[in-house]
Structure 1
Amino acid sequence: MIPMKNSDTLWIQKNFLDSPDATLIVQDTQVVIVNNAAQQLINGLNIDVNYLIQLVQTDMAENQSATNNCFNCVVKETMHHNSVPIDVMDKNQLQKLTFTLDYYLIDSENDVYSVVIRNNATVDRLKKMEDNHDIVRKINRTQENERKRISEDLHDSVAQSVYSSIMTLNRMKTGDEEKDKMIAQVQEQLRGTLSDIKSLAVDVRPAVLDNFGLIPAIHALIKRMQPSTDIELDFIDRSGDTSELSGDIQTTLYRIVQEAMTNAIKHSKASSIVIMLVSHKNKISLEVIDDGVGFKMYTQKSYNGSSLGMINMNERVKSLNGYFLVDSKINEGTTISAEFPYEGTKVE
Structure 2
Amino acid sequence: MKWRLKAGTVGSVILLMIILAVGCGPESQGKIVEGKVNVVTTFYPIYEFAKAIGGEDANVINLLPAGVEPHDWTPRSQDIVNTSKAQLFFYNGAGLEGWVPQFLKGLNRDSKVKAYEVSQGIKLIEADEEADHDHEGEGHKDKHHVDPHTWVSPKSAMMMAENMKNSYIEADPVHKDAYTSRYMNLKKQLEELDSEFSSNLNEMPRKEIVVSHEAFGYLARDYGLTQHAIMGLSPDAEPRARDLLQLSKLVKEKGIHYIFFEELVSDRLAKTLASETGAEVLVLNPVEGLTEDQLKRGDDYFSLMRNNLTNLILALQE
TM-score, with normalisation over the residues of structure 1? 0.20
Larger radius of gyration: 1
TM-score, with normalisation over the residues of structure 2? 0.22
Structure in which a larger fraction of residues adopt strand: 1
Structure in which a larger fraction of residues adopt helix: 1
Of structures 1 and 2, the one scoring higher in RCO (CA 8 A, sep 6+) is 2
